[in-house]
Amino acid sequence: NRPVENTIVGSCVFQFKVDYELVKHLPTGMAFYSDAVSAGGHLWGIKFFPSGEYEADEEYVSIFLEHMSKSRSVGVIFEVFMMGRDSKPSMSLSHIRRLCQTFEIMEDKDSSDCWGWGKFLERTTLEKDYLTGRHVTFACAIMIIDDSCVPVPPSDIGTHLGRLLDHADGTDVSFIVDNETFHAHRAVLAARSPVFRAELFGPMSEATMPSITLHDITPATFKVMLRFIYTDELPLEDELEDSSTEMFQNLLAAADRYALDRLKIVCAQKLWDKVSVDTVATILAWAETYNCQELKNRCIDFFVVEENFKKAIFTDGYALLVLKFPEIIAEMKKRV
């Protein structure tokens, strides 16, 4: 528990294993508690609501960190991620949560001092991806912050580059997509995409063209991709112009075309969150089409579970797989 760079003065990393089959029918608002753990001279506990803390959260599981030593204020970083069926931590960015919070001295000793997430993870996703036998396991890290240090804010370069895109300051190239015009900066595009670098600074004709017309991408998709290039973030799903599944498919195609590897992985995770027996074949076909091996492997693993396979073979997506990718069908049949 020695200080690290004079910032972290105590820490605790532990696994919170829950008998989900035992607690999953608890009503909304009722919690299951972890054993108390010690970090930085304070006692902490995890509160797990299998049916959500409030009615608005009932489709989700809720996770909160409780400060059980109420005599002193303390700054803390709390991080939670899921343990997969392979007993390895989930690498899904959307299934990892982190908060930085100061827990104040509580005058009412009977009150609860908690911070966390009411909508930590959809219950269907937890059961589909992380239920191992009867149990789900949360990997938790509690890090105590030295309040005497000067806090360093998170990077805001994406925010500033996003403003640069919004205000069109210094743009030197434009793209026309279905009669919509998007202004951009050659240097930013080239720094983020080797394909754009070759087009805009190589021997191709686009290198000297002030305006480039694109024919195989929609304006909505290009707009989201362009913002990701500048900010490294996607908008919230309810802010997308198209349906989220359609948008993530189109973005996956665009990421493959422009060699935007991180965007491809982000889209793969978003699509994986939507996998079910009704959609897995279609999403698997997209993964194969757009060279996303990570998504392909996940879909095949889901597909070859016998009860999933028996249902998925009756979908239109499976018929598409048979026609376009017979080698995938052969591989799956060997594994079922």
Does one domain contain both 125 and 164?
no
Task: Pick the last residue of a domain from 145, 173, 198.
Answer: 145
Q: How many domains does the chain have?
A: 2
What is the structure's pLDDT at 240?
Answer: 77
More confident residue, 105 or 230: 230
- pLDDT band for 91, please (50, 70, 90 cuts): low
Does one domain contain both 184 and 311?
yes
Which of helix, strand or coil describes residue 16?
A: strand
226/108 Cα distance (integer angstroms): 51
74 forms bridges with which residues in the sheet? 103
Is 2 inside any structural domain? no
Exposed/middle/buried for residue 204 (C-beta within 10 Å: 0-12, 13-18, 19+): exposed
More confident residue, 8 or 170: 170
Task: Pick the last residue of a domain from 88, 121, 145.
Answer: 145
Quick one: average pLDDT of 167-189? Answer: 94
pLDDT(70) > 80: no
pLDDT(69) > 90: no
* Residues above pLDDT 90, as percent of the chain: 63
Torsion on CA atoms 255, 227, 272, 88, rounded to nearest 10: 100
Place of tokens 């299998």: 50
- pLDDT band for 214, please (50, 70, 90 cuts): very high
What is the structure's pLDDT at 152?
Answer: 66
What is the structure's pLDDT at 275?
Answer: 93
Does one domain contain both 136 and 191?
no
By mean pLDDT, which of 6-10, 79-83, 183-187, 325-329 is the weakest? 6-10
What is the structure's pLDDT at 150?
Answer: 61
What is the structure's pLDDT at 2?
Answer: 37
What is the structure's pLDDT at 243?
Answer: 77
pLDDT(93) > 80: no
pLDDT digits (tens, 9 = 90+) for 234-289: 988 777 776 789 999 999 999 999 999 999 999 999 999 999 999 999 999 999 99
Q: What is the CATH number of the domain that holds 58?
A: 2.60.210.10
Place of tokens 């598409």: 320
Does one domain contain both 215 and 326?
yes
By mean pLDDT, which of 1-15, 276-290, 309-323 is the weakest? 1-15
Does one domain contain both 99 and 226?
no
CA angle 198/203/205 to nearest 5° reads 95
64 forms bridges with which residues in the sheet? 47, 116
| H or E element, residue 331 | helix 326-335
Per the structure, the complete domain to which residue 276 belongs is given by 157-335
Task: Pick the last residue of a domain from 145, 178, 208.
Answer: 145
Quick one: average pLDDT of 95-120? Answer: 73
pLDDT digits (tens, 9 = 90+) for 295-306: 999 999 999 888
pLDDT averaged over every residue in the chain:
88
26/49 Cα distance (integer angstroms): 8
